[in-house]
Chain A
Amino acid sequence: MPAAGVVMIVAVVAIVLALVYYLVSTILALRQITNGLDEVIASVGEIVEKSAPVEGVVNDINANLDAAVSALEGLLVKKAGMEDALGLIDGLYPGAAAQGLRDFPESREVIPPRIGEVYTKGTLTLARLGREAPIALANPTGPVLRNVESGSLAARKLYPDGRPEAAEALPRSPVIGADAPVQYEPRDDVGKPRKRFRSGV
């Protein structure tokens, strides 16, 4: 065989060896990629499975909350009136009245009163629920209770000599028990039948 033929065979063998090495290495890398993609697919499947009921649940929650918002807005407007309702909202959450009520688009045009300064009918009506509150004695149809211009002066009248400070020392709680300095003897009538008085006495 001529030398040129031997060189040709060596060259072909070298090319084949290079092909084998690189193709086998590529196959191994592709197998690693396949295994990784299998893990990805498993995770994606879990994500899809776990997130499947989310839409229905969230829509149900939103529907319930929408109904609650509508009911509360309607109740507030019905009981306090549009202006006072927005005043109450703005008093609790400053600036919130500018957004208006969702079910009452016209509420965006209302200028909310300052409920913190003017007690309105709605507030008085709500306050009537507190039976011990002095404000409950007023008539909701009457004038405002608080003088807006000198409101602080009215509050100051409660303590004309200044607000009293707390007592320096409060009486201590009594010591009880067998070693207490003051022993309280048990009453004789405890445990006995209750005394009954004759009628007409």
Chain B
Amino acid sequence: MTLWWIGDIVLLVVVLPVVIYLLHGVLQAARGIVPSVHKIAAVGAAGSKDLDATALLLTTQDQVRQTVAGVADYGGSLDVIIDDA
């Protein structure tokens, strides 16, 4: 009977607080991750929105090609008009 009571005391005084302490730590750690994940999601969404302008690179690419073609035409004409050094 004495051992029975000792077991009860150990359960109530040692096991239950330890279980609560450990589970509380796990819960706090999990809850601490949530706002960080939400911030990362917001940053990812903002980064994705910032990249919306990358489609304009195609326009830039086309304009660069046209500009370089124009420069090549002018250069060819200048090469004909101007004497060499």
Contact of A22 among B20, B33, B72, B78 (CB under 8 A): B20
Which A residues lie within 8 Å of B78 (CB)? 75, 79
Would you call A138 an interface residue if the criterion is a C-beta within 8 Å of the partner chain's C-beta atoms? no
Report the Cα distance A33→B16, complex, angstroms: 28
Report the Cα distance A50→B58, complex, angstroms: 12
Interface string of A11-51 (1 = CB under 8 A from B): 11011001100110110011011001101101110110011
Contact of A46 among B4, B8, B51, B65 (CB under 8 A): B51
Would you call A64 an interface residue if the criterion is a C-beta within 8 Å of the partner chain's C-beta atoms? yes
Would you call A4 an interface residue if the criterion is a C-beta within 8 Å of the partner chain's C-beta atoms? yes
Which A residues lie within 8 Å of B41 (CB)? 36-37, 39-40, 43
Would you call A57 an interface residue if the criterion is a C-beta within 8 Å of the partner chain's C-beta atoms? yes
Which A residues lie within 8 Å of B58 (CB)? 53, 57
Query: How many residues of chain B get a CB closer than 8 Å to chain A's CBs?
Result: 49
Contact call A26/B27, Cβ cutoff below 8 A: yes
In this complex, the member of B8, B20, B38 whose beta carbon has the largest number of chain A beta carbons within 10 angstroms is B8
Q: How many A-B residue pairs have CB under 8 A?
A: 144
Interface string of B1-17 (1 = CB under 8 A from A): 10011011001100110
10 extra A-B contacts, CB within 8 A, seeds A15-B11, A22-B23: A12-B11, A29-B33, A40-B40, A50-B55, A57-B58, A61-B57, A64-B64, A72-B71, A78-B85, A79-B78
A-B CB contact pairs (8 Å), 11 listed: A7-B5, A18-B16, A22-B24, A32-B34, A42-B44, A43-B47, A50-B55, A57-B60, A68-B71, A75-B75, A79-B84
Report the Cα distance A196→B10, complex, angstroms: 133
Which B residues lie within 8 Å of A19 (CB)? 19, 23
Q: Which of B20-47 contact A (CB under 8 A)?
A: 20, 23-24, 26-27, 30-31, 33-34, 37-38, 40-41, 44-45, 47
CB distance from B31 to the nearest CB of A (A): 5
Would you call A80 an interface residue if the criterion is a C-beta within 8 Å of the partner chain's C-beta atoms? yes
Q: Which residues of A contact B (CB under 8 A)?
A: 2, 4-5, 7-8, 11-12, 14-15, 18-19, 22-23, 25-26, 29-30, 32-33, 36-37, 39-40, 42-44, 46-47, 50-51, 53-54, 57-58, 60-61, 64-65, 67-68, 71-72, 75, 77-81, 84, 121-122, 125-126, 129, 140
CB contact under 8 A between A122 and B85, given known A40-B40, A40-B41, A44-B44: yes
CB contact under 8 A between A58 and B45, given known A5-B4, A11-B16, A65-B68: no
